[in-house]
Structure 1
Amino acid sequence: MMTELPLEQVRTLLAVVDEGTFDAAAAALHLTPSAVSQRIKALEQRTGRVLLQRTKPVRPTESGAVLVRFARQLARLERDARGELGLSGAGEPTRVSVAVNADSLATWFLGALTGVPGLCFELHREDEDHTAALLREGLVMAAVTSSPDPVPGCSVSPLGRMRYLPVAAPEFAARHLTGPLRDTLPDAPVVVFDTKDDFQDGFVRRSGGTGAGSLRHHVPTSEGFVGAVAAGLGWGMVPETQAEPLLRDGRLVLLTSVDPLAPVEWMEVALYWQQWKLDSPALAAVAEAVTATAAEALRG
């Protein structure tokens, strides 16, 4: 029966995942590759599970991700303890890794980080439907996500709702959207973030159509997405805070102004903050700042 997890083996697993190969992990740990391999095999035998996919770079299995997350949490607690004790190395900046969706990053999220000085932030940009996976894999300590279901070992709290408006350039609307949206949108060019983005399809389906058109422009940055829509490449769902100044300037029009009978005027995404259940002052400070900023920037 397994009674404990040898910390040197757990830390070695983390090094292999972070470095990508056994050889690179050996160099980082000042060990031989054979010693690294033996530690991983011993940990796998102890847990009775395969922990790594031997690919290039190596990737943790589902069981391995649990131990990687544990190793990162352990490292976080150790750094916090060293800081409280004033031990050597405690003066190094505290690093906090967070997964955040592109639209939050482009609109309100960075303002929250300015309220927590003295920290180093490592931001991972990912779709809000997929940020929780980075938490599950132990790659980040916290995430802005659309999932209200907590990742194992994490707490979750609501942030608010981000509203998206269906918009297009006036010239584009006059050329492509001259009838009911349920009829015109399935044939009109559309801007999407990437292959994971089905937000525009969801709007068309809720408007009575079968999905957005097949002529799709992939623009994988929030600012570039808005620029592509304003330039007339296609229509798209744009965050309210980004759309409003362009609507006022006449560079964009609401699709509901083209079809006042459209059943859907906007779409909203509920956002949540998930983080490790750790008594970490740095993580607590970030959570407080993010929650406060979201309360002002998002809809309740």
Structure 2
Amino acid sequence: MRAPDLSQLHALVSVVSEGSFDSAATQLHITPSAVSQRIKALETSVGTVLVHRSKPARITEAGMPYLRLAQQIGTLVAELTPGAPASVPIAVNGDSLNTWVLPAVAQLSHRMEFDIKREDQDHSAELLRQGVVVAAVTTSADAVQGCSVTRLGVMKYRPMCSPEFRDTWFRDGPSGDALSRAPMIVFDRSDDLQHRYLEQWSVTRRAGPTHFVPSSADFAEAVRLGMGWAVLPRQQIDRMRTGVDVVDLAPGTGVDVTLYWQQWTLKTAALAELASVIAVAAASSLD
């Protein structure tokens, strides 16, 4: 097998990050046919399929080492090119992004190019394994192969609803039965935080409706508007008027989520600086 061609590796990164051959072509300023030819030539060279031709396009298991290699080469090239911004794809859960991660990475945005993938904290490590991102906020303390792991702190979630919602659904106070029957708000179908909280009340099945609101800011707003109850991170609750906008359903209860920072062990100034600002932000924002 020949050593991979750099233009082919670049095309591989673009197809996976952009999600299609057409979008990759736009990013690379070439034709979709040229992108397809580069990917096909790389696949022929290595003797296997590297990209699922799906919508969106996805890396195959066999393609993951090549995607990681391509990302690493791109990072090193940017490091050695004066004036070239480092391209830094990272995976962050919506609550962290909305509360403390975005202000941290904003400090570096004038000299780094961020591609932030919003991914549930329980699944973000998979994007590291695939090579889609170079770093991630995750709940996994087990380092992905080729990565280092650092504990960031604990994100505390508390059960919240609007005062009117409480008066309607929890007149006699919180209980497993009332929680199971009251409308509940969930981020998306991979969000299990509300169900983890219900387990503390020995609730395994729900009778009430579930609303899906896949945006961290809109999620909190849906709680404030009385659409349902949900567990919200302390950092988001602090932005609201507790007792007016929202109320704590059961003070002293909640869900604790320990977060970790995983990143490639590839040593570059960009990754080191990013890890530093993330650590500082986590120290001041997490418990």
CA distance in 2, matches of 1:255, 1:99: 31
CA distance in 2, matches of 1:81, 1:151: 26
What corresponds to 1:103 in structure 2? 95
CA distance in 2, matches of 1:35, 1:121: 23
CA distance in 1, matches of 2:114, 2:46: 33
Q: Are 1:202 and 1:211, in contact at CA under 8 Å, matched by a contact in 2?
A: no
SS in structure 2 of the partner of residue 251 of structure 1: coil
Correspondence for 2:269 among 278, 281, 287: 281
Aligned-pair CA distance for 1:190 = 0.6
CA distance in 1, matches of 2:240, 2:54: 47
What corresponds to 1:50 in structure 2? 49
Larger radius of gyration: 1
Aligned-pair CA distance for 1:53 = 2.0
Aligned CA distance change for structure 1 residues 223 and 36 (closer, same or farther; 3 Å): closer
What corresponds to 2:160 in structure 1? 167
CA distance in 2, matches of 1:197, 1:11: 33
Q: Which moved more, 1:8-17 or 1:144-153?
A: 8-17
Aligned CA distance change for structure 1 residues 160 and 186 (closer, same or farther; 3 Å): same
CA distance in 1, matches of 2:212, 2:14: 35
Aligned-pair CA distance for 1:183 = 1.6
**TM-score normalized by the length of structure 1:** 0.83
Q: Are 2:24 and 2:35, in contact at CA under 8 Å, matched by a contact in 1?
A: no
What corresponds to 2:253 in structure 1? 265
SS in structure 2 of the partner of residue 128 of structure 1: coil
What amino acid does structure 1 have at the position aligned with 2:53? R
Question: 1:63-97, CA deviations, whole angstroms, 9 ceiling, x for partnerless residues?
Answer: 112211210111110111123xxxxxxx2333322
SS in structure 2 of the partner of residue 171 of structure 1: helix
What corresponds to 1:87 in structure 2? none
What corresponds to 1:191 in structure 2? 185
Q: Are 2:196 and 2:255, in contact at CA under 8 Å, matched by a contact in 1?
A: no
What amino acid does structure 1 have at the position aligned with 2:278? V
Is 1:200 matched with 2:191?
A: no
Q: Which moved more, 1:246-255 or 1:104-113?
A: 246-255
**TM-score normalized by the length of structure 2:** 0.86
What corresponds to 1:158 in structure 2? 151
What corresponds to 2:58 in structure 1? 59
Is 1:292 matched with 2:280?
A: yes
Question: 1:200-259, CA deviations, whole angstroms, 9 ceiling, x for partnerless residues?
Answer: 1111112111144440111111111111112111110011122245464433222215xx
What corresponds to 2:72 in structure 1? 73
Aligned CA distance change for structure 1 residues 41 and 160 (closer, same or farther; 3 Å): same
Counterpart mapping for 1:108-147 below 5 A: 108-116=100-108, 117-147=110-140
SS in structure 1 of the partner of residue 122 of structure 2: coil
Aligned-pair CA distance for 1:109 = 1.1
Q: Which moved more, 1:65-74 or 1:129-138?
A: 129-138
Aligned-pair CA distance for 1:36 = 5.2
What corresponds to 2:246 in structure 1? 252
Q: Are 2:174 and 2:249, in contact at CA under 8 Å, matched by a contact in 1?
A: no
Q: Are 1:185 and 1:213, in contact at CA under 8 Å, matched by a contact in 2?
A: no
CA distance in 2, matches of 1:95, 1:23: 17
CA distance in 2, matches of 1:230, 1:112: 27
Q: Are 1:170 and 1:252, in contact at CA under 8 Å, matched by a contact in 2?
A: yes
Q: Which moved more, 1:23-32 or 1:65-74?
A: 23-32
CA distance in 2, matches of 1:183, 1:82: 61
Stretches of structure 1 that go unaligned for 5 or more consecutive residues are 84-90, 258-263
CA distance in 1, matches of 2:151, 2:65: 24
What amino acid does structure 1 have at the position aligned with 2:276? E
Task: Tell me the matched-pair count.
Answer: 284
CA distance in 2, matches of 1:29, 1:185: 54
What amino acid does structure 2 have at the position aligned with 1:168? C
CA distance in 2, matches of 1:153, 1:212: 41
Is 1:239 matched with 2:233?
A: yes
Aligned-pair CA distance for 1:124 = 1.8
Aligned CA distance change for structure 1 residues 96 and 45 (closer, same or farther; 3 Å): closer
Q: Are 2:10 and 2:70, in contact at CA under 8 Å, matched by a contact in 1?
A: yes
Q: Are 2:90 and 2:115, in contact at CA under 8 Å, matched by a contact in 1?
A: yes
Aligned-pair CA distance for 1:158 = 0.9
